[in-house]
Structure 1
């Protein structure tokens, strides 16, 4: 694979990953009250504060991924966030029989997202991201 193809693949991968978090964050704004109540029902303290922080993380993190800015750090942050969400909200091992398969699917989706984020945390933004821009010589 040529350097240009690698750079393009990384940019597309970052963008696709970013879109997922961007849409998720925006959707939470319109459903703030019901999602905060759901989070509280899972035993999370200060659910409204945590939800606001989640929205900021998802929206800002997604834009950083798409732009290729601080990709390694953002990927690790989103990976840890996604792992927590998987364990707290998609605990298939504790699900009732009627919801077991759905929760398992969501958990595995999060595992796959974590795999993509781990790859991004390793390779960074690629040459088509802000992180890799070299300052021009004067």
Structure 2
């Protein structure tokens, strides 16, 4: 028996999935952009290399690529690039293996949240943006 629940609405479901996947990036990318000096300070605190450059990369990836993916522009390559960025942020920002107690637990949750987001981004790279996108051609 074939599962056909979304057969007639695949493009709509992909659109909703793209929107939901990008909400996190756009909200936090905007916060990093509008509070840029705080973002640089946070990058320095977490041990990110070249905190100012790291902050710029974070804004471009989270807000810029987030908006592009939201509207379905260069979806496949940007989804892969954002997945790699998300892996980097997981390793740099949520290194739970060096922590103990509640800090370890919270960072382990955030690390695996990033891993899950990477899964969604890779799935988006494979499926493409769907009909409701700038890439639809």
TM-score by length of 1: 0.87
Runs of 4+ in 1 over 4 A off after TM superposition: none
2:119 aligns with: 115
- Alignment check: 8 A CA contact 1:76 1:121 kept: yes
Give the Å deviation of 1:13: 0.7
Give per-residue Cα distances to partners, 1:46-101, cap 9 Å, x unaligned. 21122022202211111111111111111011100000000111011111223111
1:128 aligns with: 132
2:97 aligns with: 93
Q: Which segments of 5 or more consecutive residues in structure 1 lack a partner in the other structure?
A: 134-138
Instruction: Please show how residues 1-138 of structure 1 align to structure 2 within 5 Å.
Output: 1=4, 3-133=7-137
Give the Å deviation of 1:9: 0.6
**Structure 2 Cα separation of the partners of residues 26 and 121 of structure 1:** 23
**Structure 1 Cα separation of the partners of residues 47 and 96 of structure 2:** 17
Give the Å deviation of 1:3: 4.8
**Structure 2 Cα separation of the partners of residues 44 and 20 of structure 1:** 20
**Root-mean-square deviation (Å):** 1.6
**Structure 2 Cα separation of the partners of residues 105 and 5 of structure 1:** 33
Q: Which segments of 5 or more consecutive residues in structure 2 lack a partner in the other structure?
A: none
**Structure 2 Cα separation of the partners of residues 130 and 4 of structure 1:** 21
Give the Å deviation of 1:8: 0.4
Change (3 A) 1:67 1:4: farther
